[in-house]
Amino acid sequence: MAIKVDKDKKRRDIAIACTELLLEKGMKNLTITEIAKTAGIGKGTIYDYFSNKEEIVFEIIRNFIEKHHHNLLNQSDKKTSTKQKVLYLFDVFLSEYMPYEKHLDVFREYLSVTLSSKCSPMIEFNRECSNFIRNTLEDIIEEGINKGEINEVSRNLIDGIMRAERGYMVIAWAEGRDLKKEFKDFIDTLFDLIEIKK
């Protein structure tokens, strides 16, 4: 009798096994041979679950985002302010925690490949990731409005907050500057304007 394999779980397991490899090697230097060896499977088996190396990278990045979202939920409770939840959401950029630097290196490389190659699957994956983060931000803002912490006009700022964070990140990389404080100051100023004073 054939053993039934949960394909989604197997894809995730391969990605999890190769996360440190991606952080160490980067996208360009990552090879299918190394991925197979690290995951403890044959090279041909990789192609049973992924069409190419990029799909494996997508799965690893998807796991980064899901893990970060899980951490956001764990850090937050009913007493956590809306502003603090927004800062937690963008913690990967704001954090002084060193392992995040490797994550940012992978994201930087991924973004440069996406911008230069115009590869449809990468663009679609980038859209999927952005939508996930945007939906999370929408939930945070909506909860803040419902709790009476921020004005209803805050809904109109969601796209701007998303673009500001990406802009600060790209400028920081392009100019070799640390813009964490400036981005946090931007969020502080924004919340000074939208918070309902009691």
**Domain-wise residue ranges, the chain:** 76-194
**Biggest CA-to-CA distance, the chain:** 67
* Residue 188 token pair: 């502080």
* Residue 140 token pair: 């945070």
Q: Residue 143: what pLDDT?
A: 95
Distance, in Å, from the CA atom of 142 to the CA atom of 59, rounded to the nearest integer, reads 29
Place of tokens 């909860």: 143
* Residue 96 token pair: 């002084």
Q: Residue 22: what pLDDT?
A: 87
The DSSP string of 17-61 is: HHHHHHHHHHHHH--HHHHHHHHTS-HHHHHHH-SSHHHHHHHHH
pTM: 0.81
Q: What is the mean pLDDT of each run of 10 residues along the chain (198 residues)?
A: 70 89 86 91 89 87 84 82 91 64 76 73 84 94 96 96 90 84 93 91
Place of tokens 């209803």: 152
